[in-house]
Amino acid sequence: MLAMSSRINVSYSLRSGDHVKCAIAALTPLKAEPEDICLDIVYEDDHVLVVNKPAQMVTHPAPGNWNGTLVNALVHHCELPVACEATDETSGEEPEEDSFDDEDEQLDQSQNLNSSVYIGVPLAVRPGIVHRLDKGTSGLLVIAKDEHAHEHLSKQFKDRTVKRSYLSLVCGTPSRKRGRVDAAIGRDIRNRIRMAVVPNSSSNKRARNAVSGFEVLEVLANGGAALMEWKLETGRTHQIRVHAQYLGHPLLGDDVYGGTRGAALSCILPKIQSSTHGLARKLISQLQRPSLHAATLGFIHPRNLKEMTFSCPLPSDFEELWLQLKSFNNNIL
């Protein structure tokens, strides 16, 4: 029998007859701590809350992001319960979808509220969250303030009756003014933090049907970029970002899916006068996030059953980038 040293040798491979001793840490309660964070509230009543989430705010606590999230702000604003006892299923496990947020993934899509998306992130640390936005995405989110509202809104997302539109700035300009991307999405086997378009077949467990409608609203920088509107028929992880890359026109500022500074400049600089290249380089160098904004959101109120539609303006960083790229249209070669 091999005597195991108390010092861990990470390169050692276990062999038959080895004995391994380990200590299991006690389970600790998980909490979403209330934090007094200013919220941009678009609408609020006793049952629902609609907020305009700023870019760089994570939607809910998860490993690596336990504070400063939208949920931390909501717990303070709505005085919601904050803790739950950890179980074997909710302590220390890595979430199936990692700790990054989704561009817009509803929680109850052919799954229950304990979706594998949230393994390790129990209900008590994501109260009221029905769908979520990627950290870098700004815009509208609806939050349920009671159980009935949560169930009602979740069903609307599952039934795909919620109306959502997004605005994005992309590299280059699609050849089609409008269209529809029907391409399944799954985890990228070469890079676990990414999603990718994958073959959609009954044997492919990674594939989830994903459909996005798109329209080119405005050609910018003489075709070097474009303002696009997206309407989701499904809500998959990073759906718009993946489908934009699939079209060959990734979102400006989206380093994960091909919208790097270099890619943006390679599209824009050949289309504009050389005298404006310096300004374009400065503009692109300031990109801090994927250029994506959840502009409109429509749903049926869970209590009075009235149809409600909300919109919010572009955030300043997105608007400034759009206007500057638009100004390059006057600099025709």
More confident residue, 265 or 102: 265
- 104, 108, 134, 317: the catalytic one is 134
pLDDT score at 116:
32
Q: Is 46 a catalytic residue?
A: no
Confidence at 107, pLDDT banded by 50, 70, 90: very low
Mean predicted confidence (pLDDT) in 295-302 = 97
Indicate the range of 129-138, 249-258, 316-325 predicted with least confidence.
129-138
Report d(CA 209, CA 20) in Å as an integer.
44
Indicate the length of the chain as a whole number.
333
For domain 34-330, give the CATH number: 3.30.2350.10
